[in-house]
Chains A and B, each alone.
Chain A
Amino acid sequence: MKSALIIFPGSNRDRDMIKAVKKISKKEPILVWHKETNLPDVDVIIIPGGFSYGDYLRSGAIAARSPIMKQIKQAAIKGVRILGVCNGFQILTEAGLLPGALMRNKSLHFVCKTVKLEVINNKSDFTAGYKKKQIINCPVAHHDGNFFADEKTLSEIEANEQVAFRYANGTNPNGSLNNIAGIFNKEKNVLGMMPHPENLIEKAHGGTDGRTLFESLLGVK
């Protein structure tokens, strides 16, 4: 399975993501600079975390209007799997590839800790390796992770089973509506999530709960 990793000015979790992809799939992801207007022919596109454009205007807003995003939108329509983590999630919502918006954390604090996630929908290329209702550990590190959507959009997200992960056991770190930590598009080929599965893939990280997502996504198992 071939993958591409998109890099913006201010991306800073790209190296962790490259290592995770390489370690788990034994293949290097193709690195694509945001100003590119051509996207290589790949099965998986990953938008890593960070602070693209210093979070100017709104988190992810300027990156979402980068030249490469046109190609990413077309790839999404074709059914290419797209994963956005943290700032990648913010970019996908700003680009309109995922519904809702990620606002300032309710506490106003930057949160950096491990939370519990419940796997809500395991019928996707991203989450197939997990059991439904499985509780996993996952680190978070963000200032703007407070998921918001209007009532109508939120009920559509729930009805279409677009919720991939919810914060579990009272660990919602940011005030997200319905404890939403990660959502799919309607077609389930785009996933955005605030937690960082790439930072929990080996024993030295303190656990391997994030590894399963990459094994499913990259077709390793």
Chain B
Amino acid sequence: MRARIIVTLKSGVLDPQGEAIKNSLNALGFENINSVRQGKLFEIDIDEDDREKSLKSVKDMCRKLLVNQVIEKYSIELDDASKN
């Protein structure tokens, strides 16, 4: 199973990098931007075919290491690797 984990800053947490990217986009002429928030993407190939078990395992990874829940939130997408 392949998992894609998207980690972003919680709303209300200042994102100076996102702000700098927005300013740079503005300078390139993209003036229609309300805001930019930067995040992280993890792609994890798991040796497990069962969706439930995979999801449980990935959630555990998020809680224990991948995500700092003081400042970040996450979402998980699962793809059955054999179909790709």
Contact = CB atoms under 8 A, between A and B. Distances in A.
Interface string A202-215: 00000000000000
Interface of A: 57-58, 61-62, 65, 93-94, 99-101, 103-108, 146, 148-150, 153, 175
A61 B71 contact: no
Interface in B1-58: 12-14, 16-17, 20
A146 B20 CA distance: 16
Given A57-B65, A61-B65, A65-B65, A150 B70 contact: yes
Nearest to B10: A150
B68 interface: yes
A104 B70 contact: no
Contacts, number: 39
Prevailing SS type, chain A contact patch: loop
Interface residues of B, number: 12
25 contacts: A57-B65, A61-B68, A62-B65, A65-B65, A93-B70, A94-B68, A99-B70, A100-B70, A101-B68, A101-B71, A103-B13, A103-B71, A104-B16, A104-B17, A105-B16, A106-B14, A106-B16, A107-B16, A108-B17, A108-B20, A148-B70, A148-B71, A150-B70, A175-B14, A175-B16
A148 B13 contact: yes
Contacts of B13: 103, 148
A101 B16 contact: no
B24 to A, nearest CB: 12
A107 B68 CA distance: 22
Contacts of B68: 58, 61, 94, 101
B38 to A, nearest CB: 10
Nearest to B12: A150
Nearest to A58: B68
B16 A149 contact: no
